[in-house]
Amino acid sequence: MNRIAQGLVLTLLGVAALSCTLASDLYLNYVQGAFRPFIVGAGVVLVVLGVTAIVMDLRQARRGPEAEEEHAHGHDHGHDHGGHGPRVAWLLLLPVVAVFAVAPPALGAYTAANAASSAPRDVSEVSYDELEAEPGQPVEMELQEFVMRAWTDEERAMAGREIRLTGFVVANPEGEGWYLARLQMACCAADAIVNRVLITNEPAPPEDSWWTVEGSWVEPEGGLQEIRDHRFEVHQMTEVDNPPDPYE
């Protein structure tokens, strides 16, 4: 890999990082929103580094073949700093291809169906805040919070409350009903965990479509943690466009 190719690869990589953070919200499909300034920073550094490398190389070319000869000799006896890159560096173009040519969507029903769902956690001493809502309005909750509460809130504060959840549809191949699911992400899509509730009183909408549902938690008769998937009784549901940030 010659010097100008290295400069071009770095520039393209930087442009890819900048375009999916500044020009669009594509990065939210892959990483936490908090990463944005860091990715922008890395993109700027890469572009500056790449453009500098290109300019230096072109300047050297203008000085003529003699100067290049001399430069090459100066470096041949040592290692190859700034000289010729290894072939493996061509792989740096793959993320560029992924961002521009494939632009993969956020993980959805395919992953949610294959991943293990987050199971009840052993957090006995966790205490919860009061459920807050405007009078006459349902309680707006993240699916992750709903599932955690359903499993661990021994006071059962959610019972009888009108709750609003947003997520995408995942089929339930094993039995009745379908899942409303949402992927929870700590850092990037590689660590996504699925949270889901089972809905049985409405016919299943198409997979991967996004819905906001209002309804209530079906309070289990036995212990909270004996249940594999908590149920949600839907009173009203509306289809929504994909939310800007698909993960919680």
Partner 1 sequence: MPDRSSGSAFPPPALGDSLARGWDEPDEGLPPSDWGRPRGPRRTATVWLFALFIIALAAANAWLTDRLTNEAFLAWATIFTAISLQALPFLVFGVALSAALTAFVPVSFWRRAIPRNSALAVPVAGAAGAILPGCECASVPVAGGLIKRGVAPAAALTFLLAAPAINPVVLVATAVAFPGSPEMVVARFLAALGAAVVVGWIWARFGRTGWLRMPRADHDPDASKWRVFRESMQHDLMHAGGFLVVGGLAAATLNVLVPREWVIAVADLPVVSVLVLALLAILLSICSEADAFVAASLTEFSPTAKLAFLVVGPMVDLKLIALQAGTFGWGFVRRFVPLTLALTLIFTFVVGGVLL
- Window 79 to 108, contacts with partner 1 (CB under 8 A): 79-107
29 binding partner 1? (CB under 8 A): yes
Q: Looking at 131, 133, 171, 193, which residue binds partner 1 (CB under 8 A)? A: 193
Least distance between partner 1 and beta carbon 214 (Å) = 28
Q: Looking at 27, 146, 178, 179, which residue binds partner 1 (CB under 8 A)? A: 27
61 binding partner 1? (CB under 8 A): yes
159 binding partner 1? (CB under 8 A): no
Q: Which residues are 180's β-sheet partners?
A: 169, 197
SS (H, E, C) 11-44: HHHHHHHHHHHHHCCHHHHCECHHHHHHHHHHHH
Q: Looking at 24, 68, 137, 239, which residue binds partner 1 (CB under 8 A)? A: 68
Question: Count residues contacting partner 1 (CB under 8 A)?
Answer: 87
Nearer to partner 1, 61 or 159 (CB): 61
Segment near partner 1 (CB under 8 A); pick from 111-119, 165-173, 197-205, 234-242:
111-119
Binding to partner 1 in span 118-147, by CB under 8 A: 118-123, 125-126
Burial of 107-125, coded b for 16+ CB within 10 Å and e otherwise, reads bbbeebbeeeeeebeeeee
161, 149, 135, 163: which is closest to 237 by C-alpha? 163
Do 179 and 211 meet the contact criterion of CB atoms below 8 Å apart? Answer: no
Segment near partner 1 (CB under 8 A); pick from 2-10, 131-139, 163-171, 232-240:
2-10
Q: Looking at 73, 136, 173, 174, which residue binds partner 1 (CB under 8 A)? A: 73
Q: What tokens appear for 209 in the block?
A: 């479509």
The residue whose two tokens read 């959805």 is: 108
Do 167 and 143 meet the contact criterion of CB atoms below 8 Å apart? Answer: yes
**What are the CA-CA distances from residue 86 to residues 22, 58, 82, 90, 243 (Å)?**
31, 21, 11, 8, 42
Segment near partner 1 (CB under 8 A); pick from 4-12, 159-167, 198-206, 233-241:
4-12
Nearer to partner 1, 27 or 211 (CB): 27
